Amino acid sequence: MANENARPQRGTFLTVMTVLFVLLAISDFAKPIQFGHPNAAAGIVEFGRKFHGVTPNLILGTLFGILFLVYAYGLWNLRSWVLPIAIGYAFYVPYNVVLFTYREPPVIRSIPFIVIWLAVALTGSIGTAIYIAYNHETLR
């Protein structure tokens, strides 16, 4: 009954974001496996730095995977404690992306690729935080 009440309030945007965060968590959990077929793109990027090797990816991939699952759970159930996580993540993603771009420049990518990638990344981070802040009275 409680879940039925919560579901209509969550809305399409947060439902889609929750699914994307679960996918992101799965991707992070699978980071060490990427080194079975290493390529230039393999490796988790945190704090603007790409981590190479199975061990760092196993540790950080698991930590961030769990964090994303907690975030997704909070969004799905509209928990009030998810707001600080959302705000922290809204700042973290641009930090991470800008520091990475600055520290490890060019793998040259096309502008459309960067724009689409940024649209997804920033909507998930900044967009979710603003949406939750705007609708914070629906959290419990």
Partner 1 sequence: MANENSGASRGWFLTVMTVLFVVLALSDFTKALQFANDPAVGGLVILGHKFRGVAHNLMLGPIFGLILLTYAYGVWKLQAWVLPLAIAYAFYVPVNMVLFWSLHQLAPPSVGFIVIYLFISLTGSIGTAIYLAYHRERLS
Chain residues in the site for partner 1 (CB under 8 A): 87, 90-91, 93-95, 97-99, 101-103, 105-106, 109, 111, 114-115, 118, 122, 126-127, 129-131, 133-134, 136
**Amino acid, res. 67:** L
Kindly state the smallest distance separating residue 134's Cβ from partner 1, in Å. 4
Which residue lies nearer to partner 1 by CB, 30 or 118? Answer: 118
**Residue 61, token pair as written in the block:** 């991939």
Q: Which is nearer to partner 1, 30 or 114 (CB)?
A: 114
CA separation for the pair 26, 6 (Å, rounded) = 25
Q: Judged by CB, which is closer to partner 1: 8, or 106?
A: 106
Angle (nearest 5°) at CA 7 between 75 and 93: 20
Q: What one-letter code names the amino acid at 88?
A: G
Nearer to partner 1, 54 or 99 (CB): 99
3-class secondary structure per residue, 37-100:
CCCCCCCCEECCEECCCHHHHHHHHHHHHHHHHHHHHHHHCCCCCHHHHHHHHHHHHHHHHHHH
Minimum Å gap between C-beta 58 and partner 1 is: 26
Closest approach of partner 1 to the CB of residue 1, in Å: 29
Least Å distance, CB 33 to partner 1, is 28
